[in-house]
Each structure stands twice: as structure tokens, then as C-alpha cells.
Amino acid sequence: MRIPWFLVSRVLAQQNAVVELLRVSPVADEVARRFAAAGHRLYLVGGSVRDALLGRLGTDLDFTTDARPPQILEVLAGWADAVWDTGIAFGTVGAAKHGATLEITTFRADSYDGVTRNPEVTFGDSIEADLLRRDFTVNAMAVELPSQQFVDPHGGMDALVARTLDTPATPQESFGDDPLRMLRATRFVSQLGFTPAPRVVEAMTAMAGELARITPERVQTELSKLLCGEHPKDGIELMVRTGLAELVLPEVPAMKLEIDEHHQHKDVYHHSLVVLEQAIDLEEDGQDLVLRLAALLHDIGKPDTRRFESGGGVSFHHHEVVGAKMVRKRLRALRYSKEVIEDVAQLVYLHLRFHGYGKGEWTDSAVRRYVTDAGPLLSRLHKLVRADCTTRNRRKALGLQRSYDELEARIALLAEAEDLNRVRPDLDGNEIMRLLGLPPGPLVGAAWKHLKELRLDRGPLEHDEAVTELRRWAAGQGIQPPNE
């Protein structure tokens, strides 16, 4: 009799988990034996068990125990390399040992007020009650240590094998307790490639508005993790399908523009998802949140700028300008850092400029300005522009790629000759003040800017030529240099 495939997968998954647990056993076994010696039970739990089953357990380990926080501290005293109690009000004690980070939490049996996501912390007395309050069944498994006995009362193993995302309690109870779990579901879809159960999608759709109870900072954290997952397109599509995106990134579903019968423009929403995937394919050093945000949001200005022209065409004039402003507004609302906001907005603002390159008509001055305006974002801009070439016309797509190859080659040649990464005027501020007899102030800045514009237009100037141009500018400003 053949063993059903899912049972084989189940056995293999358990074997993977044992291998992973043995890999970290110097820490897990040591701490478990200390708890057992003190008369307490200890379980590896939640995401740590899930990741162990998937063969990807890291050095951040989550445990749960029947010991109360003061007892946890006693067990860890003299053993851990470091201990911190910043989460002790929620029953959590942190520790470091042998390069691993441990979070040990007393069994919980919390209740929620249905208004915020903050629980009324209540300690529990059983692993079963603790697992019932967790977000998803794949995170509601535990391994008792040191015996390595599995505890799986809610079918988490079967859900993991089937790559299904479901909740231990009903989705309505789970999401009512903590609405952030709905967004976390989209994150797990992106990170792990799981498919949410129909009842989970139904509850997310019905309860999407509850996400308004969550602070922007927590929403931003989940969104960033989603975007940096392996399947962010799937996570975004789930957000849009359930209505969560209307509260997180309403500009994304707004890109679902009605396509006219003559198909005068692309489906902007699906185009943006394709650009996101193509940008990811171009990443070189791991997940790039700035690039991924820019790829997803590069066309969010199109809905506000769409115009139907008299000849039957459709235009989106200045959508990159409008889009950059929208990006700043949305990312500020999500509490992203100033650096992330400005970098993403600048990429959105610049993403269309290449299309003025045509067949290489740009002057060297235009190439210098392209590089200077991109600054340290140039490498990301290259990736974004290439990812944005999504036309189905293969000949046109190849032509665009060849044009960009040529632009990059020109940039490389100019950079080698002129050090484009550090474009500065040919005279510095101190020399400008000396030559014009000016004190520090706005006029010096204006002179500096004028010389930089000349540098961009004409390339490096000889020193005497730069001095002549400075004096010519000063005369136009009514400035009388000394010794004249």
C-alpha cells in the first residue's frame, strides 16, 4: 500500500524540523534542561517551529513556558550572556546565548477590548490555550523540549504541507482580537508563498475596515516585510482583493483604470505589478525596499493625469511630477523615514526622463544632468527604467533596452573622463568669495550654482575660463569685483 503523498511530506517536514532543532541544540537543549531542572516546561513555539519545519530556522528563537516572568529571570540568571526585560509586562524575557537570541514568554490567555489591538495580558496554564490565541495554525505549533515532542492541536502541520494559511480560532475572532493579523496574512503570502483559506479571505474582506485601529508604524512594518518577501505581487494582490489596500496604499487599487475599447493605454495596475517583479529580477545585493516601493508606485500619478485627447489617444502628461508628490504624502502617512521617502519620490520623478533620449539625441550636457539629478540613486534608476519597459512589442522592447545600453555606455565614458559622481563647480565657495570680494551668503550660493550649471552644460572648464565666466556673471548681477 502506497503512503499518501501528504503523509510522506508530513514525515519529511518533521525530519527537517528535528535536523534544524539539533542544529541549534546547544542553546535549545541547554535552556530547556535548566527550565526542567527548575520544575518548568519549555516549548519552542510559533514562527520558530514553522521555520524549523520549512528548513529555515535562524538564530532568533521563540519559546513559551509555564514559568512566570520572575521565574524565567531566575532560570536565566548566571547562564545567559545577556538578559533584557523590556517586554516583561507582556510576560516576555529576552536573552542572548552562543550567538542566538531567545524570547521566552509565559503561556498567554489574553482577552481583547475590540477597540485597540492591545490585549489585557493574562497568563495561562496550558500550551493548548496558548496556541489557540495565536494568529495562524502554521504558527500554532510547539515542540516540547528537551524531548522534542510535537504539539499540534490545530492542524498546523497539515496546513504547512498544503501551504495554506488558516486561523486556530475563527478568522472573525482572530482578526477581531488583532486586525493587524489581516495584513500579516498578506505578508505571509509574500514571504512564504502560502494561499489563504477561503474563510480567511472572506473575513479579511468583511473586516478590512478594522485595520484603521492599527498605528501607521505597525502597518508600515508589515508592508515593508511584504514588499521584501519572495512573492510581493501575490501579497499586494491579496491586499487589493480584500480591500486592505484601500487603507494602506489606496493609490495602488486606484491604478485599476477602466481600459477604453481601443486599448489606448496599458492596465496601469497590472503593469505596475509586472514592473515590481522585473525590478526584483534586477536586484543584485538582496531585497531593496526603496527600489520595490518605487517600482510599485512609479505610475500612481496616472489616474489623476489621464486625459482623452481629441484624436482618440490617451495622455498622462506630468504623471511623474504628480506621482512624486503623491509618494511623499503616502509614505509620510505610513511613517517611513525621510531618507526612504525622498529616495522613492526622486526615483518616481525621474523614471520617465529616459524616454526623451530617443535614438541617442541627448547632448553630453543632458547625460550629465541625468546622472547628477539621480545622484546616488543612479544604479536604482537604471533598474527601475529597465523594469518599466513592459511593452508586448518585442521589437520595441529590444529597441528600448538597446537605447538604455547606449545611455549607460555614454554615462560610463563621461564618468571616466569627468568624475560625474562628484560634479562640482570649477571654483569652490572660498575662491568665489575671494575673487568677488563677497562675504558668505546667498550671492555666493547663486554664483556657485551658476558655475555648476556651466559645468553640467560644458563639462570641466579650465581655471582661467571659469574665472572669466564668474566675472561675467558678477557683472550681470551688478557685483563689482575687487581690483577692477
Q: How far apart are CA 21 and CA 320, in angstroms?
A: 50
Q: Residue 361: phi, psi to the nearest 5?
A: -75, -10
Environment class of residue 265 by beta-carbon count within 10 Å: exposed (0-12), middle (13-18) or buried (19+)? Answer: middle
Q: What would the grid cell of residue 86 be? A: 523590556
Residues 24/148, Cβ–Cβ less than 8 Å? no
The pLDDT of residue 260: 46
Closest CA to 75 of 338, 433, 83, 142: 83
Q: What would the grid cell of residue 167 be?
A: 486561523
Cβ–Cβ contacts within 10 Å for residue 405, how many? Answer: 11
CATH placement of domain 1-162: 3.30.460.10
pTM for this structure?
Answer: 0.80
Residue type, 150: F
What's the confidence (pLDDT) of residue 13?
64
Helices (H), 110-259: 127-132, 156-162, 171-177, 180-192, 198-207, 216-227, 232-242, 245-248
What is the chain's alpha carbon radius of gyration, rounded to the nearest angstrom? 29
Q: For the chain, give every domain's residue range.
A: 1-162, 287-422, 429-476
The DSSP string of 243-276 is TTHHHH-TTTGGG-PPPPTT--S--HHHHHHHHH
Q: Where are the alpha helices (DSSP H) in 115-179?
A: 127-132, 156-162, 171-177
pLDDT in tens, the chain (484 residues): 344 444 456 666 666 666 666 666 689 989 999 999 999 999 999 999 998 888 788 889 999 999 999 999 999 999 999 999 998 988 999 999 989 999 999 998 765 555 555 666 678 889 999 999 899 999 999 999 988 888 999 999 889 888 999 999 999 999 998 999 999 999 999 999 999 999 999 999 999 999 999 999 999 999 999 999 999 999 999 999 999 999 999 999 999 875 544 445 568 999 999 999 999 999 998 999 999 999 999 999 998 888 877 766 777 888 999 999 999 999 999 999 999 999 999 999 999 888 877 766 788 888 888 888 898 899 999 999 999 987 666 777 777 788 888 888 888 877 766 655 555 666 777 877 887 788 887 887 888 777 777 777 777 777 777 778 778 887 888 788 776 5
DSSP 8-state class, residue 208? G
pLDDT of residue 393: 67
What integer pLDDT is reported at residue 484 of this predicted model? Answer: 55
Report residue 162 as a C-alpha cell.
498544503
> Could you give the CA distance from residue 375 to residue 64 in angstroms, rounded to a whole number?
49
- Distance between CA atoms of 49 and 6, rounded to whole angstroms? 19
- Determine if the peptide bond prior to 179 is cis (ω within 30°): no
The pLDDT assigned to 392 comes to: 65
